[in-house]
């Protein structure tokens, strides 16, 4: 077989043409639906979704293949007014991610419109020079005429290449976004192997999953500063895996909350996380969760690095 006969076969023999690839930064206020959208577009769970705001801390990339394009999504932490040091790091990371991207995708919860943080972000986008698209999310919740008004108001402040109206939850409009990005991203070879959906190391992904379960169960009682780390990952001969994780909290009172009465909370969190990990890893998971108090970890540079964040010096 000659080299030439191999080429069309690799491309699926659909007259597919050259490959495209690039990075798309998702920018949006907390709860706009960024994680839900990345998960939908990538078709696998790579970024945690929770009803508690500001759950996404470090940049998580989901990698989607559409037509001939490999689209790498950078799921940025919500941009909001920074108060504490950790908050400031999250904001810096989000804007840093935007500057490295080929495309910016500004996601707005169309029910909330430009209220609050979305307006601040829009102002910030004036300084960002990459091509930008506007994506109005949660259209299942608003009237069409309100969407048109919002589109006009936003485009008056910043010029977007295109505006899309979608529901990340039910998928409507998402295919159009993918079609557009696949054609608009630069021509070039793919950055990642075809079967890779996220470059998050498995350990970190596993920690994210437990953190999601922690928040889902205890979102009213625990501050979002609590943090999960995977400390041990042991593949066993019988095909199962033993995973040990530590939930770090800042105070003894929070430790009691995380454990719950008779250990009820930690047991439920562990069961939910183990179940989901087994599904994702397609193997039996033995999960061991520990709760430890680590005071002031929010001011420790090493913790920031572990989460993929820069430590803010001011």
Ligand X SMILES: Nc1nc2c(ncn2[C@@H]2O[C@H](COP(=O)(O)OP(=O)(O)OP(=O)(O)O)[C@@H](O)[C@H]2O)c(=O)[nH]1
Q: How far apart are CA 236 and CA 217, in angstroms?
A: 30
The answer to whether 125 touches 27, Cβ cutoff 8 Å, is yes
Distance of CA 43 to the CA centre of its chain: 13
Given candidates 51, 83, 129, 237, which one binds ligand X under the rule CB under 6 A?
A: 51
Q: Binding residues for ligand X, how many (CB under 6 A)?
A: 23
- At closest approach, how far in Å is the CB of 283 from ligand X? 27
Q: Which residues pair with 243 in a beta bridge?
A: 233, 287
Q: 64 CB contacts (<8 Å, ≥6 apart)? A: 41, 42, 43, 70, 71, 73, 178
Which SS3 state, helix, strand or coil, does residue 98 take? helix
Residue whose CB is less far from ligand X, 30 or 204 = 30
Residue whose CB is less far from ligand X, 260 or 308 = 308
Given candidates 53, 178, 197, 268, which one binds ligand X under the rule CB under 6 A?
A: 53
- At closest approach, how far in Å is the CB of 75 from ligand X? 7
132 binds ligand X (CB under 6 A): no
Task: Build a one-symbol-per-residue string for 135-154: x at contacts with ligand X by CB under 6 A, - elsewhere.
Answer: --xx-xx-------------
Plot region of 54 (φ>0 → left; ψ -120 to 50 → alpha; else → beta): left
First to last CA, the chain: 62
Residue whose CB is less far from ligand X, 32 or 125 = 32
The answer to whether 291 touches 247, Cβ cutoff 8 Å, is yes
Given candidates 21, 68, 151, 167, which one binds ligand X under the rule CB under 6 A?
A: 167
213 binds ligand X (CB under 6 A): no
Q: How many CB atoms lie within 10 A of CB 275?
A: 13
Q: Is 210 one of the annotated binding-site residues?
A: no
Listed ranges 128-136, 166-174, 252-260, 286-294: which one lies at the site for ligand X (CB under 6 A): 166-174
168 binds ligand X (CB under 6 A): yes
Contacts 24+ apart (CB under 8 A), 280-284: 280/45, 280/205, 280/209, 281/202, 281/241, 283/239, 283/240, 283/241, 284/238, 284/239, 284/240, 284/241
30 binds ligand X (CB under 6 A): yes
Given candidates 55, 68, 210, 273, which one binds ligand X under the rule CB under 6 A?
A: 55
Total residues found in the chain within this entry: 314
Q: Is 284 one of the annotated binding-site residues?
A: no
- DSSP structure class, residue 64: E
Q: Is 25 one of the annotated binding-site residues?
A: no
Given candidates 21, 27, 35, 86, which one binds ligand X under the rule CB under 6 A?
A: 35
Listed ranges 50-58, 145-153, 249-257, 289-297: which one lies at the site for ligand X (CB under 6 A): 50-58
Q: Is 76 one of the annotated binding-site residues?
A: yes
Q: Is 167 one of the annotated binding-site residues?
A: no
Query: Which residues of the shown chain bind ligand X in the complex (CB under 6 A)?
Result: 28, 30-36, 49-51, 53-56, 78, 137-138, 140-141, 167-169
Binding residues for GTP: 28-35, 75-79, 137-140
């Amino acid at each position: 077989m000659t080299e030439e006969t191999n080429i069309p076969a690799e491309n699926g023999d659909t007259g597919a043409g050259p490959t495209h690839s690039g990075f798309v930064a998702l920018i949006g206020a907390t709860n706009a639906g960024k994680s839900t959208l990345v998960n939908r577009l990538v078709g696998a769970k790579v970024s945690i979704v929770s009803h508690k705001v500001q759950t996404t801390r470090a940049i998580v990339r989901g990698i989607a293949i559409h037509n001939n394009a490999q689209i790498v999504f950078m799921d940025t932490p919500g941009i909001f007014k920074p108060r504490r040091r950790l908050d400031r790091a999250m904001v810096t990371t989000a804007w840093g991610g935007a500057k490295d991207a080929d495309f910016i995708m500004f996601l707005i919860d169309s029910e909330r419109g430009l209220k609050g943080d979305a307006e601040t972000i829009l102002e910030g986008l004036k300084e960002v020079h990459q091509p930008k698209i506007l994506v109005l999310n949660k259209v299942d919740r608003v009237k069409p005429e309100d969407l048109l008004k919002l589109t006009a108001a936003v485009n008056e402040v910043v010029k977007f290449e295109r505006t899309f109206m979608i529901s990340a939850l039910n998928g409507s409009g998402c295919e159009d976004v993918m079609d557009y990005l696949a054609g608009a991203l630069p021509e070039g070879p793919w950055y990642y192997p075809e079967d890779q959906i996220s470059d998050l190391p498995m350990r970190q992904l596993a920690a994210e999953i437990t953190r999601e379960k922690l928040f889902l169960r205890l979102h009213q009682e625990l501050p979002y500063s609590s943090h999960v780390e995977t400390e041990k990952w042991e593949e066993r001969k019988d095909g199962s895996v033993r995973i040990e994780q530590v939930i770090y909290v800042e105070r003894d009172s929070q430790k009691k909350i995380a454990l719950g009465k008779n250990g009820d909370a930690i047991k439920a969190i562990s069961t939910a996380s183990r179940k989901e990990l087994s599904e994702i890893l397609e193997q039996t998971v033995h999960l061991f969760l520990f709760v430890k108090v680590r005071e002031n970890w929010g001011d420790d540079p090493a913790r920031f690095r572990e989460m993929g964040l820069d430590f803010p010096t001011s």
